[in-house]
Structure 1
Amino acid sequence: MSRFRRTTKTRVAVLVLISLFGTLAACGVGAEGEQFSMPEAQANISSSLAPLSTIEMESLSTNRLAPVYWLAESDDTVRLYREFVNIAGTGDPIAGAVSHMLSSKPIDPAYFNLWRSSPSVGVSVNSENVITLDIDKKAFGATLDAGLAERSIAQLVYTATAAASNSGILTDGLEPSVRILVEGSSDFLAFGQISLDQNFTRDVKLAAPLWIIDPQWGSKRAAGQVTFHGLSADFSGGEYWEIRRHEPNSEKKAAKLGELVATGKLHPGTPGLDTNEFTFSYQLEPGEYVFSAWGVDAAQGLEVARESKVFTLTK
């Protein structure tokens, strides 16, 4: 059960299943007067996890897939995760990615979004890599506490900078930043919490310490040699992976683990890879699988930062 708190105008706290919370949030729709707040910490796990040492800017890509960031609950906090999505019919890659983030659902059902859609998204980029976004105040329609407001702004910043880098717009050697305007003005308190009279940069502490890049949730490919790719921080007790059969699950809202196929240890940062990057291949026959990766907190003997992806291999 999710530890997110939704409150009504009577401020009665309720607990909701993550599937329900995710559905409401991803759609950008909640009942009038609802408020969303950070989960109540159940243990001092999150504070003991080291973040990724760095997050490389997304590489220039010639395909039609755009990087978009979402939120997800993990280890009693909320972190940023990334998906690559197909966005058709947009001339501006930054506007396309941001518009998708504001108005669409994540592919992975564990991810969610608290933004509302904006009728338009204005974008400009100067020679100093300052990306200016101009969005409608309706996008800030959700009522969030300070923690979720901070993460939602970071979600926007990560998505805009990722789209700019992915499309080759940025000037090499300069850290990108994002200026957020609301209907032409920076004189605005985002979600009633964060002043927009500043430029925002990526905050590595808000990114998930581990996430799977490939395969993406729900992807399909031919059976055989399958490549697994992702990012992982350096966990005190090591980093691990497993592949399991995926049991039939009509709701498709969570991975249902079946028979263990293979397991092993991850080795991020091996020669030829970025510091936090891991990749390996494994031979698999046709079927539906769940690939999971996680770290271990040695001090507490706990599995942390688990991420799972369901994928299908065809003949």
Structure 2
Amino acid sequence: MGPTALRARCRLWPAVPAVLAAAVVSLAGCTAVGSPQPSIAAGATASQVPGNTQPSAPLETSQTSAKAPVYWLGRAKDGVYLYREFRDAGGQDNPIATALRLMMSQKPLDPDYFSPWQTPKKLAASVSGRNVITVDVSADAFNTGVDEPTAQLAVQQLVYTATAAAASAGLIDSDQPISVMLLVDGHTSQLAFERVQLGQLMQRDPSMLAPAWIIDPQEGVGLDGPLKVFGRSTRADQELGWQVLRRDSPGKSSVYLSGTVAPGTQSSRPGEFTFTVNLPPGDYEVRVLPKEEASAVPNTGNTAWDSKDVHVGP
């Protein structure tokens, strides 16, 4: 966090309406009395609260690029999880609102990702001096045709994106717990997607994060050199499998290379992994998956934790 943000007792962006400013003072902990206690997820049960055996969900680090971290829902081999992409931010003043608007109005680069949010007429965000992010969004942002699990994931999608944007921009103290308060048209205790009860401070739920995903390269990039894959696993103590599939013809692929990789265990960046392969020109798909499936023939459908299509050569 920058010095200005640290000195500020409550930081409000100019675009935040008066009702949201009042909500930040009363709900986001700018005073020491009467602050609501954070929950892991709106509507979370006790079994969802992470303990020592749960995967970790560390915050993003501060960066100087104009990219905004945006989380999406993604279909994987055994369910739907949260995944992250970096998107062009467009030089907007409020990095949190910018990332959230991208999340609600843009399509993800990866076709396996999606978002149940809709473009809102109104969206504002602010940060208090006690590491609380308050987001106020109009009711038209919610797609009411989603089921309960998707609604829970979508609320966490907002929590992850807001906290990631704030951490990347250096607006919060990443060494302290970060919470998010979600308001709907300036009001608390609303139902998100007509299913999830709001009104509490929320924190990241690690159980909703994908077991592994590829950070770089992003979907559809072209490469003129070796393929260097960088990603992250929430299971730092387990080796991952990887495959590089070559597109033999439209709709047909074969495993060109495969192997395993051990995620790093450094305390500052647990679970990060990388591997590099040299490839001849062509179209490829790189995948990360459980170790025991690294040498398996790929099946149709979503059989990996994450995958990206890349092109090598001119």
Tell me whether the two structures share a fold, i.e. TM-score over 0.5. yes
Q: 1:272 to 1:140 in 2, by over 3 A?
A: closer
More strand by share: 1
Q: 1:124 to 1:101 in 2, by over 3 A?
A: same
**Corresponding residue for residue 39 of structure 1:** none
Unaligned runs of 5+ residues in structure 2 are: 1-51
Unaligned runs of 5+ residues in structure 1 are: 1-49, 250-255
Q: 1:272 to 1:160 in 2, by over 3 A?
A: closer
**Corresponding residue for residue 192 of structure 2:** 190
* Contact 2:285-2:307 at 8 Å conserved across structures: yes
- 1:231 to 2:232 alignment: yes
Report the 3-state secondary structure (helix = DSSP H, G, I; strand = E; otherwise coil) of the residue aligned with 1:158. helix
Percent sequence identity is: 36
**Corresponding residue for residue 207 of structure 1:** 209
**Corresponding residue for residue 135 of structure 2:** 133
**Corresponding residue for residue 113 of structure 1:** 115
Q: CA deviation at 1:281?
A: 1.7
Asked which structure has the greater RCO (Cα within 8 Å, sep 6+), the reply is 2
Report the 3-state secondary structure (helix = DSSP H, G, I; strand = E; otherwise coil) of the residue aligned with 2:96. helix
Range with greater deviation from structure 2 (72-81 or 96-105): 72-81
Q: 1:136 to 1:54 in 2, by over 3 A?
A: same
1:33-112 aligned at under 5 Å gives the runs: 53-112=55-114
C-alpha distance in 2 between matches for 1:63 and 1:265: 31
Q: CA deviation at 1:77?
A: 2.4
The one of 242, 260, 266 aligned to 1:265 = 260
Q: 1:178 to 1:272 in 2, by over 3 A?
A: closer
Report the 3-state secondary structure (helix = DSSP H, G, I; strand = E; otherwise coil) of the residue aligned with 1:229. strand
Q: CA deviation at 1:236?
A: 9.4
Q: CA deviation at 1:83?
A: 0.7
Q: CA deviation at 1:89?
A: 4.1
How many residues are matched?
257
Give the TM-score taking structure 1 as reference length.
0.74
Q: CA deviation at 1:248?
A: 5.3
C-alpha distance in 2 between matches for 1:170 and 1:257: 47
* Contact 2:222-2:312 at 8 Å conserved across structures: yes
- 1:150 to 2:145 alignment: no
C-alpha distance in 1 between matches for 2:216 and 2:248: 20
CA RMSD across the alignment:
2.7
Q: CA deviation at 1:107?
A: 0.6
Give the TM-score taking structure 2 as reference length.
0.74
* Contact 2:237-2:265 at 8 Å conserved across structures: no
Range with greater deviation from structure 2 (288-297 or 126-135): 288-297
C-alpha distance in 2 between matches for 1:179 and 1:209: 26
Give every structure 1 segment of 4 or more consecutive aligned residues whose post-TM-superposition deviation is greater than 4 Å: 235-238, 270-273
1:25-40 aligned at under 5 Å gives the runs: none
The one of 178, 181, 185 aligned to 1:176 = 178
C-alpha distance in 2 between matches for 1:286 and 1:309: 16
Q: 1:272 to 1:283 in 2, by over 3 A?
A: farther
C-alpha distance in 2 between matches for 1:271 and 1:155: 26
1:16-72 CA-partner distances (Å, limit 9, x unpaired): xxxxxxxxxxxxxxxxxxxxxxxxxxxxxxxxxx98721221111111111101112
Q: 1:248 to 1:273 in 2, by over 3 A?
A: farther
